[in-house]
């Protein structure tokens, strides 16, 4: 069997024993879980204190998820791997992988080992707290030092979607374990199973996100648009007037809503800055048989159709980039990561975020979430030959006519 040497070009090479273990774990695919499975196990764990089963699963699954995404990190452009911020992120992942595989063959019968494992998970989560900002800083460092061509940008976009989705999934598993079995961590809400609310009230999360976005908007602009909400429950098993509830992770939903409200408020406030009362932000929440849909409609001037896809690019932002020292202070806009990350949170459990805009008027943003918890399965990146090929393949030549193409050949040249 041929061994692919695991190395990071700008980091000291990993010990040979760890290379073998890394390759072993990287050869396995992650095992996606559904919200239903997470809830069922969480309820059982709360009743029986079954930290043992969680330990058995996570001591194998977390190294697999780490190893899969670490394989892809090493395929990034050489110039990006050399950036200090990227090297720092790499070192965090190496250290976390090393700490996890120390539990590889340790007994699940020893409660002290399980407690040590839980403490290790807390340390890993804390270590990775600033991964998003640090990786974003690394991309900026590369852009400033070398520039980014179209092919590199395409590969970085592909990688960041997978890298951040992997991070969401790893934090989800860690949070579930530590909230259920950690002695120092407890849920603020006793109804929650770990970080999942079995009956997440969608309207309550909408109102919470709106109020916090409004506070931030008023800090920047000294004004903010009001909100009007309508709900419609079309679920067969529920009355039309029942509150709309689903099993979901409230913090994930809040993240999406807060970002969309920030964008809507900024657009409305700037577009109507010289007028009288600002138009309302209208929210519609609908529960159907398969999907819960949350539509946020603003009259903030809209977005040209040519720029809709750009809004989900990590290296694009419609707002000026704030000072680097402000990264941790959650500015209203500027880094361009808000929408791409929000869409990942939606897609993580088979949902999505879509934008539709009427340029010159406003924008509709729709969040789609799965109604049934057994259909809300994790969407996880898997390292394989297909993924590997993306990092070594240039963007294909366009085979449709385009007015922007600079490499067109024609038989006739028409001139006046």
At 303-342, the pLDDT tens digits run 999 999 899 998 776 555 545 444 333 343 445 789 999 9
Q: Among residues 125, 91, 121, which one has the least CA distance to residue 8? A: 91
pLDDT value for 329: 37
Q: Is 263 a catalytic residue?
A: yes
Q: Is 262 a catalytic residue?
A: yes
Tokens of 189: 């809400």
pLDDT value for 49: 59
Measured over the CA atoms of residue 400, residue 401, residue 406 and residue 407, the dihedral's sign is: positive
Q: Is 177 a catalytic residue?
A: no
pLDDT value for 98: 95
Residue from 252, 255, 282, 287 carrying the catalytic annotation: 255
Q: How far apart are CA 164 and CA 377, in angstroms?
A: 17
Residue from 61, 72, 153, 259 carrying the catalytic annotation: 259
On whether the CB atoms of residues 40 and 376 are closer than 8 A, the answer is no
pLDDT tens sequence for the chain (416 residues)? 333 444 444 333 445 667 889 999 999 999 999 999 999 998 876 666 588 999 999 999 999 999 999 999 999 999 999 999 999 999 999 999 999 999 998 988 889 999 999 999 999 999 999 999 999 999 999 999 999 888 899 999 999 999 999 999 999 999 999 999 987 666 567 789 999 999 999 999 999 999 999 999 999 999 999 999 999 998 877 777 789 999 999 999 999 999 999 999 999 999 998 877 899 999 999 999 999 999 999 999 999 999 998 999 987 765 555 454 443 333 434 457 899 999 999 999 999 999 999 999 999 999 999 999 999 999 999 999 899 999 988 877 778 876 655 555 666 555 55
pLDDT value for 254: 98
Q: Alpha helices, DSSP H only, in 222-337? A: 250-271
pLDDT value for 187: 59
pLDDT value for 350: 98
Residue from 68, 175, 233, 263 carrying the catalytic annotation: 263
Residue from 177, 262, 282, 370 carrying the catalytic annotation: 262
pLDDT value for 333: 42
Tokens of 147: 């520039």
Q: Do domains 16-182 and 197-323+330-370 have the same CATH topology?
A: no
Would you kindly state where each structural domain of the chain is located, as residue ranges?
A: 16-182, 197-323+330-370
Tokens of 415: 């001139």
Question: Is the pTM higher than 0.85?
Answer: yes
pLDDT value for 91: 95
- In this structure, the chain runs to a length of 416
On whether the CB atoms of residues 293 and 286 are closer than 8 A, the answer is yes
Tokens of 261: 């409200």
CATH class of 16-182: mainly alpha
Specify the CATH number of the domain 197-323+330-370.
3.30.565.10
The DSSP H or E segment spanning 233 is strand 227-233
* Other Cβ atoms within 10 Å of 5 Cβ, number: 11
pLDDT value for 45: 67
């Amino acid at each position: 069997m041929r061994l692919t040497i695991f190395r990071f070009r700008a980091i000291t090479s990993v010990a040979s024993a760890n290379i073998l273990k890394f390759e072993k774990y990287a050869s396995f695919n992650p095992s996606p879980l559904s919200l239903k499975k997470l809830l069922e196990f969480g309820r059982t764990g709360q009743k029986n204190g079954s930290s043992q089963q969680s330990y058995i699963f996570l001591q194998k699954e977390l190294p697999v998820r780490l190893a899969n995404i670490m394989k892809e990190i090493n395929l990034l452009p050489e110039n990006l791997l050399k950036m200090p911020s990227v090297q720092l992120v790499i070192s965090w992942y190496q250290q976390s992988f090393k700490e996890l595989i120390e539990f590889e063959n340790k007994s699940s019968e020893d409660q002290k080992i399980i407690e040590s494992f839980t403490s290790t998970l807390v340390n890993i989560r804390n270590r990775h707290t600033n991964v998003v900002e640090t990786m974003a800083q690394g991309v900026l460092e590369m852009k400033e030092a070398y520039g980014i061509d179209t092919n590199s940008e395409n590969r970085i976009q592909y990688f960041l979607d997978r890298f951040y989705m992997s991070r969401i999934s790893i934090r989800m598993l860690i949070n579930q374990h530590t909230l259920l079995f950690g002695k120092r961590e407890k849920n603020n809400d006793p109804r929650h199973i770990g970080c999942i609310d079995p009956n997440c009230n969608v309207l309550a999360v909408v109102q919470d996100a709106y109020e916090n976005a409004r506070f931030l908007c008023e800090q920047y602009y000294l004004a903010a648009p009001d909100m009007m909400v309508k709900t419609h429950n079309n679920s067969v098993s529920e009355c039309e007037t029942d509150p709309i509830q689903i099993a979901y992770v409230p913090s994930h939903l809040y993240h999406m809503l807060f970002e969309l409200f920030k964008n809507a408020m900024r657009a409305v406030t700037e577009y109507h800055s010289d007028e009288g009362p600002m138009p309302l932000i209208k929210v519609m929440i609908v529960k159907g048989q398969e999907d819960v849909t949350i539509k946020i409609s603003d009259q903030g001037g809209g977005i040209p159709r040519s720029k809709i896809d750009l809004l989900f690019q990590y290296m694009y932002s419609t707002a000026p980039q704030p000072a680097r020292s402000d990264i941790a202070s959650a500015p209203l806009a500027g880094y361009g990561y808000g929408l791409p990350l929000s869409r990942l949170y939606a897609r993580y459990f088979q949902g999505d975020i879509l934008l539709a805009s009427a340029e010159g008027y406003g924008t509709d943003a729709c969040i789609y979430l799965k109604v049934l918890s057994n259909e809300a399965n994790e969407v996880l990146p898997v390292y394989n030959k297909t993924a590997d090929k993306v990092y070594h393949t240039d963007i294909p030549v366009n085979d449709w006519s385009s007015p922007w193409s600079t490499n067109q050949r024609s038989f006739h040249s028409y001139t006046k």
